[in-house]
Amino acid sequence: MTGWWTTDETHDPARTSWVASAQGHADFPIQNLPYGVFSPAGGNARIGTAIGDMILDLAACADAGLIGEGGDRLLLPTLNALMAMPVDARRSLRRAISMLLSDPAMQGAVEPHLYTACDCTLHLPAQIGDYSDFYVGIHHATNVGRQFRPDNPLLPNYKYVPIGYHGRASSIRPSGQPLLRPCGQRKAPDADAPVYGPSVRLDYELEMGVWIGQGNEQGAPIAIHDAADHIAGFCLLNDWSARDLQAWEYQPLGPFLSKSFHSTISPWVVTAEAMAPFRIAQPARPDGDPAPLPYLADADDQAHGALSVMLSVYLLSAAMRDAGMAPMRLSQGPASNLYWTVQQIVTHQASNGCNMMPGDLLGTGTISAPTRDGFGSLLELSVGGKEPVSLPTGETRAFLADGDEIILQAVAQADGFVPIGFGECRAQVLPARA
């Protein structure tokens, strides 16, 4: 195991960039340097990195000979080849880009390749071959389970198996693209038969996405002590859910059309290397909980496997937008509330011999907290619709209305290091198509 939680000079809090807006930037100081795919006005899609309020065209830098090892992978319109690089090569590439943006002697050569971020279009960062969504936020699982099974909210397998389902990669979209309200079958508890129509219980889910780097051959599991080397980076993920469709369809095979209509991700890939300072010990399991089975147990993973990331959810209704109001924060909580580490879900995904490829995406599942101020979905906040949330306009929400916009944000932070962010993950709900 290479151990991508090793810090180096690129994490130095004293390092600054000659890009003025990078100093003190909430998301993209020079200590971050996430990768993405963007198009400048009138230009084609290419790979770049976010630095302050700007985007550096890495493809142009590579073409100009400003980047050595790994530069050829920056000439492609997706991040898949870059994600496939070995950890040491990725770390070297990060050092080279950090030097370009911190060394004043490089400003003259590099500055022509900068674009103002707000003038650019961001795309999906990779060609996503496959997508799995896990359910490892134990507080979300408990809160939801309690609504249906008050005396037994968690099923017996939960504390042994990182539960997940196979999602739909084709409907994943980058932040900013609107969501069309899905249609489907739903059946009210007191109805004799289902009806078909737009979902009336549309919800968001606060999650993190895990981008796969080096893949594995079919039939070849990934050992837990090697799993970190198969992670390329992280993003924010909103796995929208039609709760009324879900309740009717999920037995016996689990989520299907209630999930496959749209998932929103933040378009910047915060690299595993950038996250090195923000790895913390996995919280100890409560007394009486079973220990992970041996294939999921690793002392280094328990010592470094959790993420020091604070996640927030905001809602902006159409009425709030018209009134010029700021979005209302619905909840905030730490990613360390996950019951399983990201390495454990990677290992479990491959444990049956399932092959993964660079650019595949894994979702953590909804990240909630034990208390209401950290709940990660409206299903929890409104207690299944029984206790609607009050908005500053006097409106209430049990579930999402047309015109509502959900915004996810996150910041990674640790003592002695510069905080880094993920950029926004946002989308507005539009009416269903007739």
State which amino acid sits at residue 27.
D
205 is in an annotated binding site: yes
C-alpha separations of 191 from 182, 185, 198 in Å? 21, 13, 17
380 in a known ligand binding site: no
Peptide linkage before 252 cis (omega within 30 of 0): yes
Q: pLDDT tens for residues 81-124? A: 999 999 999 999 999 999 999 999 999 999 999 999 999 999 99
Report the pLDDT value the prediction gives residue 148, as an integer from 0 to 100: 83
CATH second-level architecture of 9-123? Roll (2.30)
300 labelled binding-site residue: no
Report which secondary-structure segment, H or E, holds 430: strand 425-430
- Those residues whose C-beta lies under 8 Å from the C-beta of residue 190, and which sit 6 or more positions away, are none
What is the distance between the alpha carbons of residues 37 and 136, in angstroms, rounded to a whole number? 29
Strands 179-180 and 425-430 turn out to be parallel
| C-alpha distances in Å from residue 73, one per residue of 48, 76, 229 | 12, 6, 19
What residue segments make up the domains of the chain, in order of their start?
A: 9-123, 131-430
At a CB cut-off of 8 Å and minimum separation 6, what does 269 contact? Answer: 34, 35, 36, 79, 83, 125, 126, 211, 232, 233, 234, 235
CATH topology of domain 131-430: Fumarylacetoacetate hydrolase; domain 2 (3.90.850)
Binding site annotation covers 207? yes
CB 356 within 8 A of CB 130: yes
Give the residue among 293, 418, 273 at the shortest CA–CA distance from 351: 293
pTM of the model: 0.97
116, two tokens:
């103002």
**Residue 70: per-residue pLDDT:** 81
Residues in the chain where the model's pLDDT stays below 50 = 1-2
In 3D space, the residue among 406, 410, 409, 408 whose CA is nearest the CA of residue 427 turns out to be 406
Give the model's pLDDT for residue 160.
Answer: 98
Q: Do domains 9-123 and 131-430 have the same CATH topology?
A: no
DSSP 246-260: HHHH-TTT--STTTT
Active site residues: 140
Q: Tell me whether residue 390 is annotated as binding.
A: no
Written as six digits, the tokens of 273 are 């290397």
Q: In whole angstroms, what is the distance from residue 142 CA to residue 286 CA?
A: 14
**135 labelled as ligand-binding?**
yes
- Region of 153 please: left (phi>0), alpha (psi -120 to 50) or beta: alpha
Collapsing DSSP to helix, strand or coil, 80 comes out as: helix
